[in-house]
Amino acid sequence: MNADNIPKFSTGIKEFDEILNGGFLPQSTNLLRGGPGVGKTTFGIHFLLAGVAKGESTLFITLGEPVANIKKNAGLLGLTVDNISFLDLSPDPEYFSKVESYDIFTPAEVEREPTTHLIVEAIEKIKPSRVFLDAMTEFKFLSTDNFQFRKQVLSFLHYLQENKATVLFTTEHSNLAPDDDLQFIADTVINLKGNRHGSYLEVVKLRGSDFMKGMHGFKIRHGGINVFPNVMPSPNMLEIPDKKYSLGIDAIDELLGGGISAATINLISGPSGVGKTTFAMQIVNSLGSMHLSTDYYTFEEEVDMILRRCRNINIDAGRLIDKGLLHINKMEPLLYSADEFLHMVSKHASERKVSLVVIDSTAGFKLSLKGQDIVEKMHALCKHLQSLGIITFLLSEVGNITGDFKITEEQISYLADNIIFIRYLEINGMLRKAIGVLKKRLSDFEKTLREFEITSNGIVVGKPLVNLRGILSGVPEWV
């Protein structure tokens, strides 16, 4: 039988199950590796609570941290562990005060037998279908050498499997207690890593089943662990209608050769203050009038400021929000990781069945990356949205006010099906603006530039500026 068709044991975290293609195989041995404080114990509690929710018997075996501490920390996260059975094998306070000496046998030989007896007794009594052991590397100190440790662990895991238990166990890799041999023994190996950029998990081994490759972000917050699987383009593109949508301004539609096609990736480029956000809201308003919904993500401006600006130029964005056609999401890039943001965009787009996603702007998104590659993340997100048939608009700020013409600071222009740019012009000592189209994959477009102006009545786009040359330099001359 194909392992992917076998009912699996949930990890207790929906998104983690997605990464594991459903969860852990029944009666499998699964290893969580990671340093202190990265979340191994919390993952284990989620695994056991998933069993409790299904009426299964579960057992938590702790060799390091006292049960009282585990319960207290779980309570701080809002996790109730009252229905989980615990076997506390951590050293009690009296161990320190007792001065024990072993003249003939080593401490490992003396203490191994009672530890084994307690574990067997608990398994026979509880008959758990799920066992979480934290941490397996503690057994190394109950073994006289590496050969005996490996043999002991293999025997223990086989014993649990014969008793029909699915096992999740942790290790803490160190020079004193390396866990390389345990990675060969386990059916599943999951690495947990944390650094100043965030926390990540990676599945490096899963016997008998496929899984999602790569590093996946996660966060520990009240309520437990949230996992953010990598957003990837779907290999099966939805059937997209060959349809163009008006942007609500005739002159812009003429520039674009008739409007914006469905499921396209679009880039609006320009310097600070040139009108990118206002132009994007004009697009949102136009598609909203066709009853198409939008998710708008703003990294820089507050939602109230965007709504106020819209009112000042005669765009009733509040009406779209009331109708459920517009959701404006304020994002603080220093609080959200890139994986969390991408997962949020993907999830909301699917749940709300939106037609348009606007990201304002790529510079703000770059802050949430904290050093990661923006091209890789943006490519994954845009292609994923495109595979769902969603129109995407990316607002990209360039540093130059005038002078050398530049489309984007992030080198993502290759992604765009359509590139619209807005530039400042200095004409007769006055600061003016011009709008143009640089690229359109699916059809021809107008090669001229037009004057762009934001008024109290909305955006006004003039006739083609055919009497000027050197427009892209920002200081054009009349011909």
CATH architecture of 244-478: 3-Layer(aba) Sandwich (3.40)
How large is the average pLDDT for residues 235-256?
Answer: 86
| Residue whose structure tokens are 């039988």 | 1
- Predicted model pTM: 0.85
> Three-class SS of residue 130?
strand
In this predicted structure, the answer to whether residue 108 has a pLDDT above a threshold of 60 is no
Give dist(CA 462, CA 401) in Å, integer: 21
Longest dimension (CA), the chain: 103
Residues 6+ apart with CB under 8 A from 155: none
Reported as a pLDDT band with limits 50, 70 and 90, residue 102 is: very low
Which residue spans of the chain are classified as CATH 3.40.50.300?
A: 3-228, 244-478
> In this predicted model, what pLDDT tens digit does every residue of 349-405 receive, in sequence order?
999 999 999 999 898 888 887 767 888 899 999 999 999 999 999 999 987 766 667
CB-neighbour burial class of residue 406 (10 A; exposed 0-12, middle 13-18, buried 19+): middle
Give dist(CA 460, CA 438) in Å, integer: 20
Would you state the pLDDT for residue 472? 63
Q: Helix axis angle, 362-369 relative to 374-387, nearest 10°?
A: 120
Pick the CATH number of 3-228 from 3.40.50.300, 3.50.50.60, 2.40.420.20, 3.40.50.720: 3.40.50.300
Closest residue by Cα to residue 167 from 67, 42, 64, 24: 24
Reported as a pLDDT band with limits 50, 70 and 90, residue 475 is: low
